[in-house]
Amino acid sequence: MGTKIFIDGQAGTTGLGIAGRLRDAGGFSLIELADHDRKDPKARQRAMGEAEVTILCLPDDAAREAVALAPAGARILDASTAHRVAPGWVYGFAEMAPGQAALIAGAARVANPGCYATGAIALLRPLREAGILAAEAALSINAVSGYSGGGKAMIAEHERAGGPAFELYALGLKHKHLPEIMAYSGLARAPVFVPSVGHFAQGMLVSVPLHLDALGVTPARLAALYEAFYGENGVVVPRGLWGENLTPEALNGSNRLEIFVAANEAGTQAVLIARLDNLGKGASGAAVQNLNLMLGRSE
């Protein structure tokens, strides 16, 4: 029969991605509601009670309503932004810190990270823990994602009409991933975060430029720091400094995360870069990883 999982909001991009991954993995039984029951509170509550874990793939307000609806003892993995910095929820970035995977495994409430946040935290947290970056550091973060992260309307625009080649967005500088980036990177000052969308379906690059002469650190030390921090836990850190071009699509279809350090010849400036699949490690892949941890299953 398999482990019973209920995906509340299965029809969305992330929900479909999770369902597909679970079917491919085997050993899972998806509780699926008829179309007329998908918004019925009682039907959803029954499904949550049957499931070993419920995965929420809903807008933020709907996710909060679903948590309030859940029967006592229900374990929930939330893919929305609603609970990423909420008390009582464990942040679902297993590689973020030693012991984080164990916290996820034992949690009743897990918040799946945002795609941009996964890359940004992976780059910044090790520097904060090493004392290289101050909490009040003035930082900027640049990122580009495939259009699949923009939901059904953006996907339709790009696939039907072509869509723009490239566009910046969230230029009010209040992107919804900023709170989790600050909370789990250890920042007290909001970075200037400039996300963008390219005319490609999926893949992501997140980059942070730094003036190393102002920080008193060498590019080689940064590269060695990342290698030591992440070891062999699924985050790939190529040895040495990176001097080649990077494209965002190389990890599509995987749950991998790569970190690169590029620097100028004088070693006074560097760009830290994280590459991931915005639909993999940035969404459904991370959700399945967290689900497996919650269930005590190997991936």
Q: Which of 37, 31, 35, 36 is nearest to 55 (CA)?
A: 31
Angle at Cα 294 formed by Cα 82 and Cα 60, nearest 5°?
Answer: 10
* Catalytic entry in 115, 182, 235, 251: 115
Q: Which two tokens stand for residue 196?
A: 């963008």
Cα torsion 5, 87, 120, 24 to 10°: value is: 0
Task: Decide if 57 is catalytic.
Answer: no
Domains of the chain: 3-113+283-295 (3.40.50.720), 115-278 (3.30.360.10)
Query: What pLDDT digit, counting tens, does each position of 65-105 carry?
Result: 999 999 999 999 999 999 999 999 999 999 999 999 999 99
* pLDDT value at residue 299: 59
Give 3-state DSSP helix, strand, coil % of the chain, rounded to 5.
35, 20, 40
pTM for this predicted structure: 0.96
Q: What are phi and psi of 128, to 5 degrees?
A: -65, -45
Cα 214 to its chain centre, rounded Å, is: 30
Helices (H), 110-206: 115-129, 151-161, 178-185
CB 223 within 8 A of CB 239: yes
> Which residue is listed with tokens 């915005």?
278
Q: 189-219 burial by CB neighbour count: b if 16+ within 10 A, else e?
A: eebebbbebbebbbbbbbbbebebeebebeb
Query: What pLDDT digit, counting tens, does each position of 165-220 carry?
Result: 999 999 999 999 999 999 999 999 999 999 999 999 999 999 999 999 999 999 99
The Cα 150–Cα 169 span in angstroms is 11
Highest mean pLDDT range out of 1-15, 27-41, 177-191?
177-191
